Amino acid sequence: MKSLELKYGCNPNQKPAEIRSTSGELPIKVLSGKPGYINFMDALNSWQLVKELKAALNMPAAASFKHVSPAGAAIGIPLTEAEKKEYGVEGIELTPVAAAYVRARGADRLSSFGDWAAVSDVVDEATAQVLKSEVSDGVIAPGYTPEALELLRQKRGGNYNVIEIDPSYEPPAAETKTIYGIEFVQNRNNIIPGFENLKNIVTINKDLSIEAQRDMILAMLTLKYTQSNSVCYVLGGQVIGVGAGQQSRIHCTRLAGDKADIWYMKKHPKVLGFKFKEGVGKAERDNAIDLFVRKDTTEYELKTLDEVLEVVPERFTEEERDSWLDGLKNVTLGSDAFFPFRDNIDRAAKSGVRYIVQTGGSLRDDLVIDACNEYGMVMVTTGLRLFHH
């Protein structure tokens, strides 16, 4: 099969629409559902991310995509019992592949509502159980066990989108895009950032652990498939905040930092102790938790918590919030291009950032490095710009 007809393009009025192979057969099989134009954009971008993460770190990887950018990405590190409770997977015996997806979706569960999932390895029954319990549009992977495929084919009355991709497929070197009748041609960005790109430590502090290096690689590869400008915060093999598609880099840093703070606030014992009313689903729980931990929630929004919680706890005071966030430490911050001003570093410090990986090459690199030194951070400059449009 060299092409596949789609219901419509980005919007219902954009038809006819199809996907085509530029050389040979399409490297994909649709095993369930009928994926659309945006589904395939998410699928093919997210697949590249997890495939390259697996190649760089030799661990199962997963991503949760929305609108052609990752809401989260992670590698298959086991979850603690508290994390299983936080992410609502207490009853599932998680394999490394399943753990990777749970962590990827756990970065920002509100944004991952209705996501596209990508998994670097064969989807097993545990991963399928997780996917079946979440509101998700589809999944792409190099294969599925029979048990996993059977579970996924039951989801959404048989309309859940399941795509199998040939893991050996390599696209042509040149890629094209058409905008307003004009064709753009460039070589694919085939660089896979790895440990060899982390040699240039420019700060006084050069104490870069293997775990921090791993998180830097996760950050860089996530950014490679995130709409630019973009930054992301990573901790423990898991993206915890993405700022995508902003025109100003400081806005990326603030947006992603705020998401990282929210991610950490959700680990507070007051939140983990929530007692939900009978029949409240995962999506409603996620929304309630997000409303409770956010600083800007209105009194009107807070009233909705009465509908889902048996008892609504007292809101966090500023002192409680600041005290808890002081525990967010050893975070890695990645940027898809250089930091033009030190304000990015000052904001990053507020969210526990200790390690930074960025392109370098700004006229104010010395001021950015000085700021890192003031905070005792470790910063690596790679010379790799990772714009994605």
User: Does residue 36 share a domain with residue 82?
Assistant: yes
Q: Which two tokens stand for residue 366?
A: 């010395």
User: Does residue 229 share a domain with residue 335?
Assistant: yes
- Does residue 386 belong to any structural domain of this protein? no
CATH number, residue 29: 3.40.140.20
- Does residue 180 belong to any structural domain of this protein? no
Domain carrying residue 289:
274-315
pLDDT for position 381: 98
Spans of the chain below 70 pLDDT: none
User: Does residue 339 share a domain with residue 280?
Assistant: no
- Does residue 120 belong to any structural domain of this protein? yes
Domain end residue (candidates: 131, 165, 199): 165
User: Does residue 222 share a domain with residue 121?
Assistant: no
Q: Where are the alpha helices (DSSP H) in the chain?
A: 37-57, 81-87, 96-106, 125-133, 146-154, 210-224, 249-265, 269-272, 282-293, 299-303, 318-325, 343-349, 365-375
User: Does residue 234 share a domain with residue 118?
Assistant: no
Whole-prediction pTM value?
0.96
- Secondary structure tally for the chain: helices H, strands E: 13, 15
User: Does residue 203 share a domain with residue 150?
Assistant: no
Number of domains in the chain: 3
Question: How far are the Cα atoms of 75, 83, 130, 314 from residue 90, in angstroms, in the given order?
Answer: 19, 9, 11, 26
Segment 246-250 long-range contacts (CB within 8 Å, at least 24 positions apart): 249/335, 249/337, 249/339, 249/340, 249/344, 250/341, 250/343, 250/344, 250/347
Domain end residue (candidates: 123, 148, 165): 165
- Name the residues annotated as catalytic: 66-67, 229, 389
pLDDT for position 149: 98
Domain end residue (candidates: 165, 181, 206): 165
- Does residue 220 belong to any structural domain of this protein? yes
User: Does residue 354 share a domain with residue 223?
Assistant: yes
User: Does residue 278 share a domain with residue 260?
Assistant: no
Q: Which two tokens stand for residue 378?
A: 């470790």
Q: Each residue of 145-155: pLDDT tens digit?
A: 999 999 999 99
User: Does residue 244 share a domain with residue 278?
Assistant: no
- Does residue 172 belong to any structural domain of this protein? no
pLDDT for position 174: 93
User: Does residue 113 share a domain with residue 217?
Assistant: no
End-to-end CA separation in angstroms for the chain:
28
- Does residue 239 belong to any structural domain of this protein? yes
What is the Cα 191 distance to its own chain's centre?
20
Question: 198 with 380: CB under 8 angstroms?
Answer: yes
Question: How far are the Cα atoms of 257, 277, 317 from residue 66, in angstroms, in the given order?
Answer: 19, 29, 33
* CA–CA distance, 242 with 235 (Å, rounded to integer): 12
User: Does residue 357 share a domain with residue 208?
Assistant: yes
- Does residue 55 belong to any structural domain of this protein? yes
User: Does residue 107 share a domain with residue 46?
Assistant: yes
Q: Which amino acid is at 165?
A: I
pLDDT for position 300: 85
Q: Using the 8-state DSSP alphabet, how is residue 376 labeled?
A: T
Question: How far are the Cα atoms of 37, 64, 162, 234, 348 from residue 134, in angstroms, in the given order?
Answer: 22, 12, 14, 23, 31
* Residue that is written with structure tokens 């099969």 in the block: 1
Half-sphere exposure of 331 (CA within 13 A, CB side): 29
3-state percent helix, strand, coil for the chain, nearest multiple of 5: 40, 20, 40
Question: 99 with 269: CB under 8 angstroms?
Answer: no
* CA–CA distance, 171 with 62 (Å, rounded to integer): 21
- Does residue 170 belong to any structural domain of this protein? no
Please give the backbone phi and psi of residue 291, each rounded to the nearest 5 degrees, phi first. -60, -40
Q: CA 72, 102, 36, 22 torsion: positive or negative?
A: positive
